[in-house]
Amino acid sequence: MANTPQAKKRIRRNARRAVINHNRISRIRTFVKKVEAALEAGDKAAASTALAAAQPEMARGVAAGVLHKNTVARKFSRLTKRVSSLA
């Protein structure tokens, strides 16, 4: 248990940040799922528009520090490759 006022404040702050970060990651996952759903349906136009919407969300996750930049780069690269491979 925290004893100092600073440690108590850090616990409060960490709890608030955890909620915010969870919401950000959840939002990003939702955008990625929309791309994957369009890929499963085989709809290239919908997949392209969903990917265009997902890219800035993923970049915001990197800027906010909730996701690593290489992780986002890898995911975006794989999604782009899958979208471009649709006939």
Domain of 70 in residue numbering reads as 5-84
Q: C-alpha distances in angstroms, 42 versus 19, 25, 30, 47, 52?
A: 35, 26, 18, 8, 17
53-86 per-position pLDDT tens digit? 999 999 999 999 999 999 999 999 999 999 999 9
> How many independent structural domains does the chain possess?
1
Q: For residue 54, what is the domain's CATH number?
A: 1.20.58.110
Tell me, letter by letter, the H, E, C secondary structure of 61-81: HHHHCCCCHHHHHHHHHHHHH
Which pLDDT belongs to residue 24?
Answer: 97
What pTM, to 2 d.p., does this model score? 0.86
Q: C-alpha distances in angstroms, 82 versus 11, 31, 33, 45?
A: 42, 15, 13, 13
37-57 per-position pLDDT tens digit? 999 999 999 999 999 999 999
Which pLDDT belongs to residue 2?
Answer: 83
Residue 87, pLDDT above cutoff 80: no
